[in-house]
Amino acid sequence: MKPMLVIVSVDSNSVLLGAKHFVNYLKELIGKYNLQDTVDILETGTMGVYTQGVMMAVFPDDIYYSVRSVADIEKIVTEHLLKGRPVLSLEIPKDKLKLVVEKEKIITETRIVLRNVGSIDPRNIDEYIARDGYFALNKVLSQMKPQQVLEYVKASGLRGRGGAGFPTGLKWEFTAKVQADQKYVVCNADEGEPGTFKDRLIMEGDPHSVIEAMIICGYAVGATKGYIYIRGEYYGSVENIQKAIKDAYEYGFLGKDIMGSGFNFDLTVRLGAGAYICGEETALLESIEGKSGRPRLKPPYPPTNGLFGKPTVINNVETFANVPPIILKGPDWFKSFGTAGSPGTKVYSLVGNVVRRGIVEVPMGTTVRDLIYRFGGGLVGGKDLYMIQTGGTAGTFIGTDKLDVPLDYDSFKNYGVSIGSGVILAMSDDICPVDVALNTMQFFAHESCGKCTPCREGTRLAVQILERMSRGQGKLEDLDTLKQIAYVTQEASLCGLGQSINVPLLSIVENFEKDFVEHINASSCPHNVCRFIKIQKSKTKV
């Protein structure tokens, strides 16, 4: 070990800010100043804190920097690394980091899923192993029967993190019970919910945790083949997962006779081709089979008739990442986090007008208020919060009256606030609910696969109505028609896309009815966003 360690975040968001470039320059300077034997560089995933720059930490000094340019790197190398004088101007103040973020992270942020993200080099399997990686697999293969693994996962109360919250253990058990010559394990990494990027950061920051869990799942249900279906645009995730799979084969965690147990498991990556609907599990299976991603009629469900008609477990990335710690530490440990109905933690994507945008992992049951104000740092420029989208595009739009709702898989049923895929999109009053509703319905109209009429036509009709309304030509009856569309698509659609349109549509129309009515009665958009045609007002969005 070298005396000093520099950690640099190279997750996608940091890469946007030049992280790769900075690392190269850092390496160059370290060579130039002959610091090779003194300083180690570790490229890691997100540290979960977002500033205006790339996060960089110097140990053992425990100093965190926010780097925005190569000149900043130069300063850090020549001053801090060479002379031992921290560059105060670039340092992230301790009160901001240590008190607000670090301290709360340690006390309140509970890292189960993100246990390694930001702490290890995701492209180095040894670092994963050094942090108990593949220990759970070893435990399973050497000490547990498949039935015991199922019991563990069931007892933990883990529920699917892809949005629907179905109990994972039950899903595995259904699949295990079916007799078949071939079964499959599929990881849903098609993350398409606008506002969500947690799966990407998990795959980029800790790919082995997903792979290990899929092998464990295969052992538990009797499957010997797995597929990870990754969104085509997620280049970084694809690279890291592929590298991890290759290493896992080399170390004998994948392939034949894994760790001398006699169990075989093979894993393949498939890339998505740009269709939101392919995140729906049966559409995703169709897509792996090389077809158009149109959802299948359910039942039968994937545990009995899945990929190529064979029994298949399909789980979300975050769901899988929970499994190794559950196996190692036990179901009771897992249940000590979160709420009774939804144990464990949830990874949220905090986006929109919050000060600190990024991902954060907290116990289930954390309130929307805490997410926005404690972890997100409140709103940019101290603006007032007006509307919050929770759970993603298929989630709910709520007003500030629902900030204290504790989020879990029952909060939609109990309070009308959806946890979905964990998006918290905070909006101040320079947005307009009608305009946002239009954008949302345009999204659904575009992504509807067209297989069934209520969804295909309902979304189109909703777009037309909202377009009219945003031009100031709406009628009061339109509100009833919108609600009607919501009910009909929910009742009569084939798959989850159509069936869940009512959630965003009803929540925005009902919680922001005042805004909709004003669009009908007033002579201009109350938020100055929509261009009303009747009085020729130009769009002045701020």
**Chain residues that interact with ligand FMN, rule: CB under 6 A:** 160-164, 166, 188, 190-193, 277, 279-281, 314-316, 319, 495-497
Report the phi/psi class of residue 501: left, alpha or beta, with left for phi > 0 and alpha for psi in -120 to 50: alpha
Dump strand ranges (E) for 127-263.
184-189, 225-230
For residue 252 the two structure tokens come to 């004998």
Residue 175 or 237: the one with the smaller Cβ distance to another protein is: 237
Q: Is 46 buried (19+), middle (13-18) or exposed (0-12) by CB count in 10 A? A: buried
User: Quick one: 195 or 293, whose CB is closer to ligand SF4?
Assistant: 293
Query: Binding to ligand FES (CB under 6 A): which residues in 379-398?
Result: none
Report the alpha-carbon distance of residue 451 to residue 170 in Å, rounded: 30
Cβ-based neighbours of 7, under 8 Å, separated by 6 or more: 41, 42, 44, 47, 56, 57, 58, 59
Helix (H, G, I), strand (E, B) or coil at 42: strand
377 binds ligand SF4 (CB under 6 A): no
Return the residue of 21, 75, 456, 460 that touches ligand SF4, per CB under 6 A: 456
Of positions 175, 349, 500, 507, contacts another protein by CB under 8 A: 349
User: For residues 173 and 313, what is the distance between their CA atoms, to the nearest angstrom?
Assistant: 9
Residue pair 504/397 in contact (Cβ under 8 Å)? The answer is: yes
Q: What number of chain residues touch ligand FES (CB under 6 A)?
A: 2
Stretch in the footprint of ligand SF4 (CB under 6 A) among 90-98, 390-398, 401-409, 452-460: 452-460
Separation between Cα atoms, residue 320 and residue 214, nearest integer Å: 7
- Report the nearest approach of ligand SF4 to the CB of residue 454 (Å): 7
Per CB under 6 A, 39 contacts ligand SF4: no
Decide if residue 439 touches another protein (CB under 8 A). Answer: yes
448 binds ligand SF4 per the rule CB under 6 A = yes
Separation CA 96–CA 92 (nearest Å):
7
| Amino acid occupying residue 330 | G
Least distance (Å) between residue 448 CB and ligand SF4 = 4
Q: Is 275 in the site for another protein (CB under 8 A)?
A: yes
Binding of ligand FES by 416 (CB under 6 A): no
DSSP assignment string, 183-204: -EEEEEE---STT--HHHHHHH
Asked whether position 455 contacts ligand SF4 by CB under 6 A, the answer is yes
CB of 425 to ligand FMN, least distance (A): 16
Contact flag: residue 279 with ligand SF4 (CB under 6 A): no
Q: Report, in Å, the least distance between residue 183 CB and ligand FES.
A: 35
How many Å apart are CA 327 and CA 215, to the nearest integer?
13
196 binds another protein, rule: CB under 8 A:
yes
Which residues here bind ligand FES, judged by CB under 6 A? 194-195
Which residues here bind another protein, judged by CB under 8 A? 12-13, 15-17, 50, 191-197, 200, 231-235, 270-276, 287-294, 308, 349-353, 357-358, 389, 393, 423, 425, 427, 431, 436, 439-440, 443, 446-447, 449, 541
